[in-house]
Structure 1
Amino acid sequence: MTRYGTDVKLADGTSSAWGDPLEMLDAVRDFGLDGINLRTLDELSPTLDPGFLGEWASHARDLGLYVEMGLGKVNPYMTAELPRVRDLGEGSYLAGMERMIAVCAEHGWTNTWTALGGYKGQYDGLYITDRFRAEAPWPDQLAATAKFLHRLAPALREHGVSLNLETHEEATTFELVRLVEEVGPDVIGICLDPGNMPVRGEVPDEGIARVAPYVRSTQLRDAALLRTGDRISRFLAPCGEGIVDWDAALRSVLTLNPGLNLTVEPIGPVRAEMPILDHDPVWLASHVDLGADELDRLRAAADAYASRAAAGEVDDLEQLRAVRPAKAAHHDFLARSVAHLRATVAGLAPVPSPA
């Protein structure tokens, strides 16, 4: 049976959308969900306090909730932005990650999240993602990430933990698949977020097909695309209200991964507008795997979305750029997404259970 959950981000041990960490579990269950993907373990307990984590894990089990935990980022060029992980390792970021892997395994949280970079909303253009850090060409960042993942792999194998690379806004699905295959799909998988794929010039339906064999977890959103001046802008949208073909996507990933949890990553007051710089020569040179035909299909998807918006079927540019009350927007985005996913799954042919 397919289970549905929500991604939760904590700030200093609390979540404005759900309450404190223990209240959060009850609130998620009361919302009608089956589990959570929590980023990250060190946000839940900065010291990895065994008493608190044991109580929290026990409460999640009592409520019948699945838990998928995050472990921080794995790109050595940006891990200095996460000092708490290094603190857990008493000066070693690697040791901090290994400690969190062991704690997750102790509680049965063997499906874990990571990404290669972070969103830099204070900047514009190329510098909104770590892909274009001026001090490190992206191929160097990918090579360093692969080396770090190789160093993490023994701990992941020892504890039976899968570390899943999110289809985040800085990396293409081509690059993520290569990392999975290089380090080993027994310990490295994919966390599927289709909403980010257009930021890297990818049509979500094709990106999903590329990563489908390796998807182990999800943070599901849709993508709304509109032309804004000389660029296309990506906005996050509830599942079913953007350009993703959810019937094809879920059929693909659930057929290959029948036990997959469908976790939604809601968004609060704004829809995270990000540019697709498909006419910028630096941007284009960085996307060596993309063909012109895929970018053409992405532009066509933007035009098709604009037609739907003009017909009042989906949010238009003004609505996508509107600022909403944070908690209400978060819960509305989640409810609409889960309703669409449930309806889509119900319409699929039965997916075989794991052997």
Structure 2
Amino acid sequence: MRIGADVTFSGGASRLADSPIAVLDALEELGFQGILVRTLDEAFPTLDSGDIAAFAREAAARGFLVQAGVGKINPYMTAELPRVRDLGDGSYLAGMQRMIRICGEHGWTEAWTATGGFKEGLPVPYCFDRFRTDATWADQLDATSRFLDKLAPTLRQAGVRLNIETHEEITTREILRLVAEHGDDVLGVCLDPANLPVRGEAFGPAVGRVAATTRITHLRDAVVTHSELGLSRFLAPIGEGAIDWDVLLGTLLTASPDVQLFIEGIGGSRAEMVLDPEDPDWRASDPDLDDAEIAELVRLADDHDARAARGDAPGLAALRAPGADPRAELRAFLGRSLTALQARLEARDARIEAKAS
């Protein structure tokens, strides 16, 4: 199974390298065999057909699996992405349709998308689009669904499916309702298990809910700990957090054996995000909250804090400490995650082979 990395670009460059093709060099050096270009327009700001074709040829020559992201689908936050509107000569819809058609032309048929974005520097809970005060989350989901109605003909014509990330503002149940409404030929899931706790969802049950609908992934681990804000979630390389990867991979690969695995790395910060199960407003934001899943997250936080007190895990101050070299940290995060994921996949294959014999 080829394992790829999700790579975020800005103006054609990323923290890994200064151009999309140079990123392939960096990923190949780390041992990856695929790339999820987080957003096509950030990697190729003018969507130059020659540049994209050259990248596609180079990736194919290396045997790389390629997928791409095409922007976000919540109309209440798309004003924060003016570049997509520019690509459509003033129409955000046309900009998205352009990118979808390009993906279809190159056979990149499992596209990434999301319904919001974390707002650095804003206080909890307003850093999450779910808690906007200009529109309720229900209104945002309705608007998202109407926008998907407009995108659906282009997606079907291009043979491209949008995969909504299990992001910090949306729950697995809400994503699945969108998939049921629009069809699994139009929508699927991009599983980022590390985001699940932010919405009060425990790893095992939440992965079980979306496994059969998951087409691509943003794999990374998560630490859950108590903080003065409630519960805090931090990111960690695969195998260095609270996720039971044998269970996750067993559930995911049994339900979706053709899922395409991509690891998402971070550098410079462990990306703390807060959930507060004691806050009635936080609870009211999701009528589907399951107390048993909240209790599991509290148990994970208790376990982490006990290990931190013994010196067996990083404490809150260490988790919050900024990194010194984001590029080096990103490479280390990706490399450690890839090694851990490969080991777990090999062990799983060995167990299956032994059982079959």
Q: Normalising by the residue count of structure 2, what TM-score does the alignment of the two structures yield?
A: 0.95
Where 2:332 maps in the other structure, the secondary structure is helix
Contact 2:12–2:18 at 8 Å: present in 1 too? no
Deviations 1:250-279 (A, max 9, x none): 111111222222211111011001111212
- Given that 1:246 and 1:344 are in contact with CA atoms closer than 8 Å, whether structure 2 keeps it comes out as yes
Deviation (angstroms), 1:291? 2.2
Contact 2:71 2:114 in 1 (8 A): yes
Report the secondary structure of 2:216's partner residue. strand
| Alpha-carbon shift at residue 230 of structure 1 (Å) | 4.9
- Contact 1:5–1:37, Cα closer than 8 Å, also in 2: yes
Identity of aligned residues (%): 50
CA contact (8 A) 1:217 1:262 kept: yes
What root-mean-square deviation, in Å, do the aligned CA atoms of Structure 1 and Structure 2 show? 1.3
Q: Please state whether the residue corresponding to 2:164 is helix, strand or coil.
A: strand
CA distance in 1, matches of 2:290, 2:261: 30
- Who is 2:225 aligned against? 226
Report the Cα distance in structure 1 between the residues aligned to 2:223 and 2:199, rounded to whole angstroms. Answer: 14
Structure 2 equivalent of residue 16 of structure 1: 15
TM-score (norm 1): 0.96
The Cα offsets for residues 280-317 of structure 1, whole Å up to 9 and x where unpaired, read as 22111001101222211211111112223334443322
Offset at 1:343?
A: 1.2
Counterpart residue number, 1:82:
81
Q: 1:350 to 1:186 in 2, by over 3 A?
A: farther
Q: Work out the CA distance in 2 between the residues paired with 1:200 and 1:53.
A: 36
2:121–2:127 Cα contact (<8 Å) kept:
yes
**Distance in 2 of aligned mates of 1:350 and 1:65:** 26
Distance 1:8 1:230, change over 3 A: closer
Equivalents in 2 of 1:166, 1:41: separation in Å? 16
Question: Partner residue of 1:51?
Answer: 50
Residue 199 (structure 2) aligns with: 200
Q: Secondary structure at the match of 1:272?
A: coil
Match of 1:327 in 2: 327
Q: Which contiguous aligned blocks of 4+ residues in structure 1 show a shift greater than 6 angstroms?
A: none
Distance 1:25 1:42 in 2: 17
Cα distance 1:310–1:342, how it changes in 2: closer, same or farther (>3 A)?
farther
Equivalent residues of 1:241, 1:314 under 8 A apart: no
Structure 2 counterpart of 1:95, one-letter code: A
Tell me the alpha carbon deviations over residues 36-68 of structure 1, each in whole angstroms, 9 at most, x when there is no partner: 111211112122111111111111111111111
| Conserved? CA contact 1:129–1:169, under 8 Å | yes
Q: Secondary structure at the match of 2:90?
A: coil
Matches within 5 A, 1:142-221: 142-221=141-220
Q: How many residues align?
A: 350
On the 8 A contact 2:15/2:330 being kept in 1, the answer is: no
Q: Please give the residue correspondences for 1:41-120 in structure 2 after superposition, counting only pairs within 5 Å.
A: 41-120=40-119
Structure 2 gaps of 5+ residues are none
| Conserved 8 A contact 1:18-1:28 | no
Counterpart residue number, 1:343? 343
State the secondary structure of the residue aligned to 2:265. Answer: coil
Contact 1:235–1:273 under 8 Å retained in 2: yes
Q: What's the offset of the Cα at 1:147?
A: 1.1
Task: Tell me, yes or no, if structure 1 residue 6 matches structure 2 residue 9.
Answer: no
Give yes or no for contact 2:6–2:36 (8 Å, CA) kept in 1: yes
Q: Which runs of 5+ in 1 are unaligned?
A: none
Question: Separation in 2 of the partners of 1:276 and 1:149?
Answer: 29
Per-residue CA distance 1:67-111 (angstroms, 9 max, x = gap):
110000000100111111111111211111111111011111111
Give how far 1:221 is off.
1.2
Asked if structure 2 preserves the Cα contact closer than 8 Å seen for 1:125 and 1:277, the reply is: no
Partners of 1:312 and 1:214 lie apart in 2 by 39
SS state of the match for residue 224, structure 2? strand
Q: How far apart are 1:181 and its partner, in Å?
A: 1.0
